[in-house]
Structure 1
Amino acid sequence: MIGVAEEREERRGRTGAGGDRSEAFSPGRGGRADAVLLGFTRALRAAGVAVSAERVHALLRAVDVLRPGVRADVYWAGRLTLCGDRDDLERYERVFAAYFGADGSPARPARAAAPPPRLRLVVRDAPGGPPAEPAEGERAGPPVASLASSAEVLRHRDVAGLDPAERAQVRRLLAAFALRGQSRRTARRRPARRGDVDPHRTVREMLRLGGEPALLRRHARTERPRRVVLLVDVSGSMGPYADALLRFAHAAALGRRTEVFTIGTRLTRVTRELSHRDPDLAMAAVAEAVPDWRGGTRLGELLREFLDRWGQRGMARGAVVVLLSDGWERGDPRLLAAQMRRLHRLAHRVIWSNPRKARPGYAPLAAGMAAALPSVDAFVEGHSLAALERLAAVVRGADTSAGTVATVASVARERS
Structure 2
Amino acid sequence: MVGTGEGGAAAADAVLLGFVRAVRAAGVEASTERAYAFLRAVDVLRPGVRADVYWAGRATLCGGHDDLERYERVFAAYFGPSGESARPVVRHAPPPRLRLVTRDAPAGSRAPGEGEPAGPPTATLASATEVLRHRDVGELDAAERAHLHRLLAAFALSGQTRRSARRRPARRGDVDPRRTVRELLRRGGEPARLRRHARVDRPRRVVLLVDVSGSMAPYADALLRFAHAAVRGGRTEVFTIGTRLTRVTRELSHRDPDLAMAALAAAVPDWRGGTRLGELLREFLNRWGQRGMARGAVVVLLSDGWERDDPELLGAQMRRLHGLAHRVIWANPRKARPGYAPLAAGMAAALPSVDDFVEGHSLAALERLAAVVRGAEAEGVSVARVRGAERA
TM-score by length of 2: 0.86
Q: If each structure's helix is expressed as a fraction of its own residues, which one has the higher value?
A: 1
* Residues 101, 144 of structure 1: 8 Å contact kept: no
CA RMSD, aligned part only? 2.2
Deviations 1:54-110 (A, max 9, x none): 2122222222232333222221121121111222111111100010013538xxxxx
* Structure 2: distance between partners of 1:195 and 1:333: 50
- After TM superposition, the runs of 4+ consecutive aligned structure 1 residues lying more than 6 A away are 400-403
Identity %: 82
Write the deviation string for residues 120-143 of structure 1: whole angstroms up to 9, x where unpaired: 73532568xxxxxxx9xxxxxxx9
Corresponding position of 1:230: 208
Aligned-partner SS, 2:351? helix
**Aligned equivalent of 2:368:** 390
Residue 121 in 1 paired to residue 100 in 2?
Answer: yes
Contact preservation (8 Å) 1:29, 1:122:
no
Unaligned residue ranges in structure 1 (runs of 5+): 1-23, 106-118, 128-134, 136-142, 408-416
* Alignment check: 8 A CA contact 2:356 2:383 kept: no
Residue number in structure 2 paired with 1:248: 226
Alignment of 1:322-341 (within 5 A): 322-341=300-319
Q: What SS is found at the alignment partner of 2:154?
A: coil
| 1:59 paired to 2:46 | no
Read off the aligned partner of 1:29 and give its amino acid letter: G
Of 83, 101, 104, which residue of structure 1 is paired with 2:83?
104
Q: Does 1:214 align with 2:195?
A: no
Q: Secondary structure at the match of 2:191?
A: coil
Shift of 1:220: 0.7
Q: Is the 8 A contact 2:48 2:125 kept in 1?
A: no
Q: How far, CA to CA, are the matches of 1:144 and 1:174 in structure 2?
A: 26
Checking the alignment, whether the CA contact within 8 Å between 2:62 and 2:68 is kept in structure 1 is yes
Give the distance between the partners of 1:172 and 1:390, measured in 2 at CA.
18
1:372 to 350, 355, 359: 350
Which segment is superposed worse, 59-68 or 379-388?
A: 59-68
Q: 1:38 to 1:403 in 2, by over 3 A?
A: closer
Structure 2, gaps ≥5 residues long: 85-97, 107-114, 116-122
User: Which SS does the other structure have where 1:292 is aligned?
Assistant: coil
Match of 2:236 in 1: 258
Question: Which of 55, 60, 64 lines up with 1:85 in the alignment?
Answer: 64
- After TM superposition, give the deviation of residue 176 of structure 1 in Å: 0.4
Q: What residue is the counterpart of 1:41 in the other structure?
A: 20
Q: Provide the aligned length of Structure 1 versus Structure 2.
A: 355
CA contact (8 A) 1:70 1:120 kept: no
Name the counterpart of 1:308.
Answer: 286
Residue 68 of structure 1 corresponds to 47
Task: Provide closer, same or farther for how the CA distance between residues 313 and 392 of structure 1 changes in structure 2, counting only shifts above 3 A.
Answer: same
Of the three residues 270, 273, 282, the one matched with 1:295 is: 273
Q: Aligned equivalents of 1:64 and 1:334: distance in 2?
A: 57
**Correspondences of 1:3-18 after superposition (within 5 Å):** none
- Given that residues 233 and 242 in structure 1 are in contact (C-alpha distance below 8 angstroms), is that contact kept between their aligned partners in structure 2? yes
Measured after TM superposition, the shift of residue 164 of structure 1 is: 1.0
